[in-house]
Structure 1
Amino acid sequence: MKNKPLLFSLNELEKEILILKAAIDIIDSIVNYNSLDIHHFEHGSVVRFKTNIHQEYFSIYLVDFLSMPASGFGLKKSSYISLLNDVCSSPAFDKDNSIAYLIKPVTEFYNWLETEITIKQLWFPTINLKIDLKITYLEFLYIGGNVSKHNFTRLSACATKMQRILKDNNVNKETMECLLALEDYQNWFHGEGNILGHLSSTIVKYLNNIRWGIHHYLQPEFLRSYTSGKERTYSYNSPSTILNPTIKFCYWDLMNSIRRNPYIPEFEVSRHYRHHPLIVQYSYQGNSR
């Protein structure tokens, strides 16, 4: 199969603008008071979805954040969180080490996603399986979000992923059995088990911290670029290395998002909601920054 032609030929700064704009767009779509209620207590905060529909909406957008962008932009074939990791390694807008504000939350969320956990006593009645399932947070959220997003006929890739995860847990099942088991899986993810609901406080905290990290990272660039005019008009002095007119528009949109603070202030999660009672969490074993 031939590779799809590039929509744009972009330099590194232009690619970073796309990555940061996409990350902000996704996070702002789900980390806001229209979708969430945040209750603050003495020992931390707890996030609740306003409705079950908001929870499904959250998981769908979250799986986009954990997936690769479409081909055609010349970006690396990695998830947005991995692309943000790359931005932290080679930032185009860093001034006075402002990138430090972004490195910490991106690294923390990246490492959390790669953490292996065991979800105890999962019951899959469709395939007659009870299991203490070893899985990473990334895999757990990726499958649940895709099942929320797609109908039965578009879940073959998820079924294959579930088959591989079960095999890693010493359970061999046919792909069709794994496809049928996804409904049971979703009952633990969204339904009676509602593991996502319990983890929501932690996930929202990580996403919100990344949103604030981008905000602080880009503040020096915003202050350099912003120019006020007459009658409340303003403009931005975009970098001369932005050659593509579409990316210039994206730059303006990105700077506009820095004009205001993120929707939700930074918060710490209540210690009672940092872990699900069915989950045994192991420390991250990968290579941290």
Structure 2
Amino acid sequence: MCQMNAKEKEVIYLTAVIELLRSMVNHELMAVVGEDSHKNVQFKTMTHQQLFFIALVDFLSQTDAKAPVPPIPYLGALRAISNTPSFDVNNSVAGLKAAVDAFTGWLQQEIAVETWLSSIDIQANIRITRYLLLKITGNLSKHNTLRSVGVAEELQHLLDKIGHSVELYQAMLIQEDIYEKFHDDVCAYHASTIAEFINGLYWGIQNYLKPEYVRSYTPEGNESPRYNFLYPEGLKHPYAKTCYWNLMNQVRSGPIFEPFTVTEHLKGNY
């Protein structure tokens, strides 16, 4: 496959990112309830909550090395785009940059989680970044013990940092205790806040690309429902052109939820 330019890569990354964001924040998984700045998210079932965190760990992961664009974490791709945007008009990228910075900063913060590890009879005050906690939770949601040895190794390291040296098999045994605490307690508490961040990223992309959509959108006639998009200069690769069409249609439909702010009562712990 031929080399792509920066604009083509950006279009491909943004198309994939929006697909992931829509898989996390949608009416099938959740409802946003409450008034003004005191909203929260309610999942339809515990299974829907689990699906939310599985999709989230994919979003926090790196793109496939065999994809037609360089491998990079999706959030890292958004950061790179917000720093060197191809479609910025009158600083339309500002909201996206702010949303990326806010979520990245929140993920990088280290928290303390008091956890009873009944399988090995240890009470541990685990110190962990929110990013790593969410990665561990998502991976444990997807895989059983024998498919999550890498998670066990991470738990070994976390326990070793606070003075608890355990064998690998012991770290494998505590995964159920860890999942119960991380998923059912910490992640459930932060789910509404994470949904607010994800929705903010989506709106950041929407507002960034809206001027490009206005430039590109071309209806075929006053009474015809058909329309075209005028490709921007420099967009030549056929895969990128298909992604561009999909991307403009994503902008045309817009985010599923309006912007919302979660109550501060769900932001004080962990």
The 2-side partners of 1:140 and 1:217 are apart by 30
Alpha-carbon distance, 1:68 to partner: 0.2
C-alpha offsets along residues 122-160 of structure 1, whole Å, 9 cap, x if unaligned? 111112221111000000000000000122221111111
Moved over 6 A (4+): none
Structure 1 residue 236 and structure 2 residue 233: aligned?
no
What residue is the counterpart of 2:110 in the other structure? 116
Partner Cα distance (1:61, 1:215) in 2: 20
Structure 2: stretches of 5+ with no match in the other structure: none
Deviation at 1:251, TM superposition (A): 0.6
TM value normalised by structure 2: 0.94
**In the alignment, what sits opposite 1:102?**
96
Maintained 8 Å contact 1:124/1:185: yes
- For 1:53, the equivalent position in structure 2 comes to 47
Matching residue of 1:211:
202
Select the residue among 13, 17, 22 that pairs with 1:23.
Answer: 17
Q: Deviations over 1:80-123 (max 9, x none)?
A: 1111111111111111111101001110000100001111x211
Which residue of the partner structure matches residue 255 of structure 1?
248
8 Å CA contact 1:41–1:270 kept in 2: the answer is no
CA-to-partner distance for each residue in 1:2-47, whole Å, 9 max, x for gaps?
A: xxxxx56322111111211111101101101211121113651011
Aligned residue runs from structure 1 range 134-153, under 5 A: 134-153=127-146
User: Which 10-residue stretch deviates more, 23-32 or 206-215?
Assistant: 23-32
SS of 1:147's equivalent?
A: helix
Aligned equivalent of 1:182:
175
Match for 1:54: what amino acid? Answer: H
RMSD: 1.5
Amino acid at match of 1:252: W
1:74–1:173 CA distance, 2 compared to 1 (3 A): farther
1:50-89 map, 5 Å: 50-73=44-67, 75-89=69-83
Partners of 2:84 and 2:36 lie apart in 1 by 39
For 1:8 and 1:41, the matched residues in 2 are separated by 51
Distance 2:157 2:32 in 1: 37
1:154 partner letter: R
Distance 1:8 1:155, change over 3 A: farther
